[in-house]
Amino acid sequence: MTLLLLFLLILSTAAPIALIGVAFYVAGFWLSHQKSKGRIYFKKPWILLTAGVLSTFVLVGTFADAAESQASSKQDVKIDKQAAQEKDKVDDTAKAALAKKAAVEKAKADEKAKAEAESKKQAEEKEKAEAEAKKQAEAKQKAEAEAKAEQQANTNALIAALGLEKVTVGRVVDGDTIQTSDGRKIRFVGVNTPESTTRHETYGKEASDYTKSRLTGKQIWIQKDVSNTDRYGRQLRIIWLAVPSDDLNEKEIRAKMFNAELVLNGYAEPSTYPPDVKYSDYFVKFAREAREQNKGLWAYGPNGTTKGDLDPKTSAQKPAQSKPAASQPAKSPSAGTSTASKPAATAPAPSTQTEIFANCTELRVKYPNGVPSTHPAYQAKMDRDKDNYACER
């Protein structure tokens, strides 16, 4: 009976409700034990024993499947729950991964957008800067063009006001004479370089070479003083190497006038022939500077090597008081060179008294048209072209 009780207890583990039958069995077992001791509490304890065994089996049979089913159901629920949890976990992981991926992609997109915006901004700034630079360059170019045009207009007006003409030097004849590319011969006004062509004077070749080195093939500006040409048809001109802003400004004359350059460097002496006296005072001043420094031809003596305004002046003992011989032509020179083209009216009649003049400037004060070789005032040094007529225009 004890073993049966143990068996029933084991069965009841499959269905706990079967413990009711076990309880009936235990009660019957106890009553039977009491009855064997003479204590009868229930006359038929075997009924409880039988009922307990049967009810235990019935309840176990009835509820064991249900419990198993319930347990299985619980297990399924648990499995499903675990699966759901796993799924949720996977879903959460996937969501987290997706969220992370989305965040990374968003960060990349934001970075790309930021880079594109920065690039666009830089491009716009660059374009704006280039446009501004272009605008400034165009404005500068326009201003420069306008300034250049204005400067050119001012220069043209100045050229016209000063009576300047632009020419190209074709060749240099000698120190003070050139020929332009269009064939005109130009004699420099107010200066005299030593001769180097038909006859030779000291320092003449150096003066000629200097003029060649400075002017050959160059473009220069020529300016008329008063006279247009000399008796040889040469144009009498001032030579400017550049357009002066003021043709009477000494600094401009020193820096830009070639006539002055020859005198300043000792290649020429001042030689004034009225009425072309616009720059004579400057030339005399420059010649004195060169002479003080023994430049060029002044290194050969205080009188230089050719005729000029600084030659010594000798006073006449008694100036001739002659009247002009209006109707008598001058005699032919004893040297045989014809002067028939010069009427005697250009000079007073010869006098037996010699007249001495320092230069042509002084002589022309009394004899405006010069004098022939037969005249008492004639000096060979004033006959530059050796045609037996001194200081002619």
Query: Among all residues, which ones are annotated catalytic?
Result: 187, 195, 234
**Bridge partners, 348 (sequence order):** 324
Q: What are phi and psi of 231, to 5 degrees?
A: -70, -10
In terms of Cα–Cα distance, which of 381, 223, 206, 208 is closest to 310?
381
Distances, alpha carbon 115 to alpha carbons 118, 123, 140, 287, in Å: 5, 12, 36, 78
Contact between 305 and 297 (Cβ < 8 Å): yes
| Rounded distance between C-alpha atoms, residue 268 and residue 207, angstroms | 7
Does residue 140 sit in helix, strand or coil? helix
Question: For 87, what's the count of Cα atoms within 13 Å in the CB-facing half-sphere?
Answer: 6
Distances, alpha carbon 297 to alpha carbons 70, 81, 286, 293, 382, in Å: 144, 128, 13, 11, 18
Diameter of the chain measured on Cα atoms: 216
| Rounded distance between C-alpha atoms, residue 294 and residue 304, angstroms | 10
Angle between helices 45-162 and 2-12 (to 10 degrees): 30
Place of tokens 């969501």: 95
| Rounded distance between C-alpha atoms, residue 343 and residue 299, angstroms | 40
Does residue 179 sit in helix, strand or coil? strand
Contacts of 131 (CB under 8 A, 6+ apart): none
Contacts of 236 (CB under 8 A, 6+ apart): 187, 189, 224, 225, 227, 228, 229, 230, 276
Contact between 389 and 342 (Cβ < 8 Å): yes
